[in-house]
Structure 1
Amino acid sequence: MLGWAVTFLVIALIAAVLGFGGIAGASAGIAKILFFIFVVLFVVAMIARAVRGQPPV
C-alpha cells in the first residue's frame, strides 16, 4: 500500500510540473489518504504484536 501512495505522489508531482492542476490535486489527495491508511495499519500491527507479548523489532 505504501508503494501505491508513492506511485500517486510521483504522478501528482509529474502532473504538477506539466501544469495539469486537477490531476495533480487528485493524485496528491489519493497519495495522502493511502499514506495515512498505511500509518494506521502499521500502528495497529505494532499494538497487536505488543499485546501478544512479542517485543517490537
Structure 2
Amino acid sequence: PTETERCIESLLAVFQRYAGREGDNCTLSKKEFLAFMNTELAAFTKNQKDPGVVDRMM
C-alpha cells in the first residue's frame, strides 16, 4: 500500500474504534463523537475560543 492508503486505513480504524462503542461502527453518536474529539483531537478541542464549535461539527 502507498503512504496515503496506509493513512486512510489508520483513520478508518480509529473512526471504527470510536463508532463501535455503542454498536454501529459505521456512524458516530454524539457521545462517541465527543469522545473522539476530546481524545484524538484534544489540542483542537481545547484551543477553540467558541465552545459550541464541536457541537456544530456534529
Higher helix share: 1
- Relative contact order: is structure 1 or structure 2 higher (C-alpha 8 Å, sep ≥ 6)? 1
Which has the larger Rg? 1
Provide the TM-score with structure 2 as the length reference: 0.38
